[in-house]
Chains A and B, each alone.
Chain A
Amino acid sequence: MSQTGIIPEFVRRQSFIELDGRKRAQSLFDEGTWKELVGPFDRMESPWLPLQGVAPQFDDGCIVIKGKIGGMAAVAIALEGAFQGGSIGEVSGAKMTAALDLATKDSKTGKRTAAILLLETGGVRLQEANLGLAAVAEVISSVLALRPHAPVITLIAGTVGCFGGMSLAAGVSSYVVMTREARLGLNGPEVIEQESGIDEFDSSDRTLIWAIHGGEQRVGMGLADALVEDDAGKIKATIRGYVQADLPLEYRSQQVEFYRDRVTALDTSEQINPMSLRQRWSNKTTGGLR
């Protein structure tokens, strides 16, 4: 007798979040088409961590995989949230910018190469401080250089989320894809509580955190493009759709006047209610590009 009838869908599906960064990146590609570049066997690790008594990793927590998605050239760059919180250092940052720049070079010479950024990161790696911050600036620049020639798709699946400087890289991407379990913001709740006090942000208030940074909210308020289930098959299909899509004529981060007006209209006399903001900003008649 078949068991499928009594096994619920969420048990049968392949969870994406349960995969590590490398497996996540691999899972996006057409079977048999991908290859990892500058992988762990190349042993390009952080020169700065050992000087501070922190064990480096042979891939520096950044995985670059090149191959085909839906028959089209693509490169996926994944930050491994389990290594140093997915933080950006000199080496991981250089991998990311180099891969983006090579995708730009190919795209400009007729071989459109999409980039998928799998971002699970707290931002700059503080042990490499200024080189991490510089790397973030360079990543942003390289995303913007590729964007007119090929899609740059940020995928935030969770559970680390995308915070710090890398949230700007998400912000300038062509598309942002999130799960409900993903979070996206510049400052994490702990940082805000530390810097501005518990009255400003209670980092133990999980409802508040998800209401503000969660994937459902970010997609709902129009600052991300697609909300996907934690299902490797569905995520693969969503990414494939964006890889194959025509290039948009305008990007969200270019819509300055529209969003400036929205900020001007905010009532700042008290904290902003995330749900009512979502309702206001999701209104299609006054709403954004997407």
Chain B
Amino acid sequence: MSEHVGLRGRAWFEALTGIKQPSTGDPGTVLASEAQIGDETALFLCVVPNPSSRFPCVRDGQVGLEEAFTLAHHLRRVIAQDREKPKARKRPVVAIVDVKSQAYGRREETAGIFFAAAASSDAYASARMAGHPVISLVAGQAFSGGFLTHGYQANRILAFDDSGIVIHAMHKEAAARITRRSVAELEELGHEIAPMSYDVGDYAKLGLLYKLLQVDDPQHPTTADIEAVRHDLIDAIQDARRGASDLRNRLQSEAAKQTRKAGIAVRAALEAQWQNS
């Protein structure tokens, strides 16, 4: 599965923007472009593998220092350019997500990848809070710090309903090792405990997703697929504009009311005690 990381992201970035190459001045690992969606222009962002990156630990599609600051750079530019515009005219941002993980490297830790990732999630969240609709399209993998850096601050998250889509805190082998289980046991457990699952259908039960999208083969989008996904993105953009600019919708969906009961109860209890303190 991991050998396909980035291919789907690249395919969908190209399908939606017509662009194949990074912008001038950007590293080969980030695709950023503005393109038409419906009757407006949106900023599309994608992190892709680059076997010749000067940072060895991002070559397979991980998100590292350059990726985080480049994403933040494009987001900050759009936020600044649209600062005076009314909410309805602020450009949407579409993050196409197909990332293996954050970079696990010594260079990255030394130069503070935690901070680079923070700067990128700050930029994504700032765009959302400023009124830009921020939509994540999970086209492949969305792991851990990679997803936190690129896409998890979105108002609306869309994902393909496909076995190649994996949204998770840690890849199977490492999660199995740390929780002292075999990979088979871990997979079995995922069927009973939704937040543990590596299956996007189970992820949908958490109530964090806006919509699961149906396409035959996410790696090879057809013209009809592209049209359908465009339509879904436009729908998500409109829905985001109608909704709040925080992440409360992730607790308000029907699925969240079931699966995130404990968290919702904690919020209610804390609010009640806060008033009386």
Q: Do A and B come from one complex?
A: yes
Which A residues have a C-beta under 8 Å from some C-beta of B?
35, 37-38, 42, 44, 46-48, 51-52, 64, 66, 90-91, 93-95, 97-99, 102, 124, 126-138, 140-142, 144-145, 164-165, 167-172, 184-187, 191-192, 194-196, 200-201, 212-213, 218, 221, 223, 251-257, 259-260, 262-264, 266, 268-269, 271-272, 274, 277
B114 partner, pick from A138, A171, A266, beta carbons under 8 A: A171
- Report the minimum CB–CB distance from B137 to chain A (whole Å): 16
Which of A51, A95, A138 has its CB near the most chain B CB atoms (within 10 A)? A138
- Cα of A272 to Cα of B87 in the assembled complex, Å: 44
B76, B115, B147 — which one has the most chain A CB atoms within 10 A of its CB?
A: B115
Within 8 Å CB of B57, what residues of A?
Answer: 196, 200
In the assembled complex, how far is the CB of residue B198 from the closest CB belonging to chain A, in whole angstroms?
Answer: 9
Q: Which residues of A contact B273 (CB under 8 A)?
A: 37-38
**Given A37-B273, A212-B109, A128-B195 contact (CB < 8 Å):** yes
CB distance from A248 to the nearest CB of B (A): 14
Q: Is the CB of B270 within 8 A of A186?
A: no
Task: Tell me how many residues of B have a C-beta within 8 Å of chain A.
Answer: 80
The 5 closest A-B pairs by CB, nearest first: A171-B118, A94-B263, A167-B114, A260-B69, A195-B104
Name the segment of B34-42, B166-174, B230-238 touching the other chain. Answer: B166-174
A132 close to B169 (CB less than 8 A): yes
Question: B138 on the interface (CB 8 Å rule)?
Answer: no
Docked-complex contact A268 and B144, CB < 8 angstroms: no
Establish whether residues A38 and B269, one from each chain, have CB atoms under 8 Å apart when the complex forms.
yes
> Total A-B residue pairs with C-beta atoms closer than 8 Å?
251
The residues of B that contact A195 with a CB separation of less than 8 Å are 101, 104, 174
Provide a sorted-by-A list of 28 A–B residue pairs whose CB atoms are within 8 angstroms. Answer: A47-B261, A90-B262, A93-B263, A99-B270, A129-B195, A130-B168, A130-B169, A131-B206, A132-B169, A137-B121, A145-B246, A185-B114, A186-B109, A186-B117, A187-B102, A196-B104, A253-B122, A254-B76, A255-B119, A256-B72, A256-B73, A259-B115, A259-B119, A260-B66, A266-B107, A268-B56, A277-B110, A277-B111
Q: Is the interface of B mostly helix, strand, loop or mixed?
A: helix
Please tell me if the beta carbons of B107 and A186 are within 8 angstroms of each other in the complex: no
